[in-house]
Amino acid sequence: MGQVKPDLRQEYTEYVAPKVPGINKVTWGIVGNSLKKGVSDFIRAPIYGLFFGGFFAAGGLAILFFLNVLDALWMILPIMIAFPLVGPFAATGLYEVSRKLSAGEPITWKGILLTVFSQRERQTGWIAFVVLFIFWVWVYLIRVLIAIFMGFGTPSTLSGFVDVVLNTSNGMAFLATGTLIGAVLALILFSATVISMPLILDTELDFVSAMITSFKTVVASPVPMLGWGVIITFLAMLAMIPAFLGLIIVFPILGHATWHLYKAATIPADDAG
């Protein structure tokens, strides 16, 4: 008798790429409302905001400590300018708190921290790489510009560095060039991350599509979105003046507000068609 051959056909599940959300026009009213909701979320869940704000502020203090140890305290100025740009990556836990508050879901430490730690297995790590890469490019370019405009005579103290920058022609040239380059890098980084970080947390979208969506959001509403970037930078730098301690309050408010701005700026993929 002939032997019946087994069915060797393999079962498989077809991969379906997540749909990209649509984009809404962002107005100044949306920006202001997002900021109000950020304050509200902080008040509703202050312990979580203080925890993540304290963690972010501790990172700034650690940088300040190591710069002091390395006798390079003057570097605190360019780092203070770039430091807020790392915020979207560090605010993952705050996005999750706002998401749960909006959905009426219970908030627990276990749930929030598991969400934060689980991001290492998702696309967030790639965006973190982009953020840190641009951050280090900025720091490296500052050192190159200092070498070009000031040579090896750069003061080791913060007051001496400020004096040279503001009172010498080479220092002013360094300031102008550094500001221009920093503005370009900040614009790129802000546009790539302002929406992408909460978008990846909220969906299964890949990091490239998320960053493209973030850029599209800025392009669709350039004035209000760039205005939001200016607000973030101004408030964050103001909060850093008292030894980064102001970030304990300002950082969570901005993190919560960014989540609400993301929700207002995007249309769910199913609704967008």
Model pLDDT for residues 79-137, shown as the tens digit of each residue: 766 666 667 767 889 999 999 999 999 999 999 988 888 776 667 777 778 877 887 88
CA-nearest of 233, 237, 234, 222 to 191 is 222
Which pLDDT does position 13 carry in this prediction? 46
Structure token digits, residue 95: 């996005």
Per-residue pLDDT reduced to its tens digit, 218-237: 999 999 999 999 998 889 88
What per-residue confidence (pLDDT) applies to 227?
95
Q: Which residues pair with 22 in a beta bridge?
A: 267
Q: For position 216, what pLDDT does the model report?
A: 95
List of residues 6+ apart from 64 with CB closer than 8 A = 73, 76, 243, 244
Give the pLDDT confidence score for residue 47 in this predicted structure.
96
Q: Which of the residue ranges 14-18, 209-213, 226-230, 253-257 would you say has the lowest mean pLDDT?
A: 14-18
Comparing CA positions, the residue from 58, 56, 88, 61 lying closest to residue 76 is 61
| pLDDT score recorded for residue 8 | 47
Please tell me the pTM assigned to this model: 0.80
> Is pLDDT at 23 greater than 80 in this prediction?
yes
In this structure, is the dihedral angle defined by the CA atoms of residues 29, 203, 210 and 248, taken in order, positive or negative? positive
Tokens of 146: 């200092």
Beta strands 266-267 and 22-23: pairing type? antiparallel
- Could you tell me which of 6, 1, 27 has the C-alpha nearest to residue 221? 27
Residues in a beta bridge with 77: none
pLDDT, one tens digit per residue, over 37-84 is: 999 999 999 999 999 999 888 888 887 788 777 776 666 766 766 666
Coil, strand or helix at 147: helix
